[in-house]
A and B are shown apart, each in its own frame.
Chain A
Amino acid sequence: MKRLAVFCLACAFVVLTGGALIELGPAAIDLRGQVAAQLAASGVSHPVTAVLLNFRGYDTLLEVAVLLIALLAILAVTDKPPAAPVPAHPLLQAVARGATPAMILVAVYLLWAGAHRPGGAFQAGAVLAAAAVLLHLVGLLPGWGAPGLRLRLGLTAGFALFLALAAALLSQGALLQYPPAAAGTLILVIEAGLTVSLGLILAGLFLFLSRDEGGET
């Protein structure tokens, strides 16, 4: 009975919202023209990177803060010490060892490419995190326990750098308004910091969580 009711409600939702989407008129606000007009002053030539780190840099700043808070919450609810890593088959370990330098190279390429083509700090950080997870799964990288000073610095470096630059540039008038001449360099510096921190944070989501792996068996 409940199933039927939920099914009918979901169908009604899809029909009504879908119908509204199809009949929707042209958008009242279109930011495409503004983005294209300001692109030259943003310091990068790829519009998505320009929006992420220049026009809407505020969102990205807060997003990194959200990631850090999520990681802190995860640290608060997992309290077991890391279990000793279980080594995988030597062949798998060799493949992981071989793949890691290539993945780091891909991350650096994505970071560099973000200025003028698809890529950027998020994708580069994700590739770094994937390399760490791969090393952990084959038993070469132990799960993380309570983070030490170096790890803490690495986790917060991107956010701290971003925040420090935002504070230093407050004299420009608005938050995160870069001087046009230096915008390209500033964005690259921020993205490099974000790549390292995002890689560590995303890897931490896995490596802090998986430490109670096998603890019970």
Chain B
Amino acid sequence: MTSGLLFALVGVALFALGLAGLVLIGDVLRRILAFNLMGSGAFLVLVGLAQRNGVPDAVPQAMVLTGIVVAVAATALALALARRLDAQREGALPEDEDG
């Protein structure tokens, strides 16, 4: 077994772990963690599977490099929405008391 295939299999397991976490966990921040684990799993499958014969392949590597940068932007956007949601939940209570 080459390390490419091994890490592709790890990627499948990570994807399943993240997906199960996304379904089972209610906390928003932890769901963002689970979503990131799914992304990492998909990246590992992409690169690992292309390199299962042991020869490096630049095309999936470049695509994954793009993917990592997009993933951090998606994470930041998700966190911004989570913070906004949290602020509105907290802010809603005192307003109700005033009214």
Contact = CB atoms under 8 A, between A and B. Distances in A.
Complex contact flag A–B (Cβ < 8 Å)? yes
A73 B76 CA distance: 10
B77 A21 contact: no
B13 interface: yes
Interface string A2-45: 11001101110110011001101011001110010000000000
Contacts, number: 109
Contacts of A70: 73-74, 76-77
A216 B91 CA distance: 10
A152 interface: no
A71 B73 contact: yes
Contacts of A24: 49, 52
Given A21-B8, A74-B80, A122-B65, A51 B58 contact: yes
Interface string B74-91: 101101110110010010
Contacts of B76: 70, 74, 205-206, 209
B24 interface: yes
A30 B90 CA distance: 54
B83 A78 contact: yes
- Among B69, B74, B90, the most chain A Cβ lie within 10 Å of the Cβ of B69
Interface stretch (A60-68, A93-101, A102-110, A154-162): A60-68
Nearest to A73: B77
B28 interface: no
Nearest to B68: A122
A10 B59 CA distance: 30
A207 to B, nearest CB: 11
- Among B55, B58, B68, B84, the most chain A Cβ lie within 10 Å of the Cβ of B58
Interface in A74-104: 74, 77-78
B20 A10 contact: yes
Contacts of B80: 73-74, 77-78, 209
Contacts of A6: 20, 23-24
The 8 closest A-B pairs by CB, nearest first: A47-B58, A51-B62, A70-B73, A205-B76, A10-B16, A10-B20, A74-B80, A52-B62
Interface of B: 5, 8-9, 12-13, 16-17, 19-20, 23-24, 45, 49-50, 52-53, 55, 57-59, 61-63, 65-66, 68-70, 72-74, 76-77, 79-81, 83-84, 87, 90
Given A10-B17, A21-B49, A71-B73, 6 more contacts: A14-B16, A31-B59, A32-B55, A32-B58, A51-B58, A73-B80
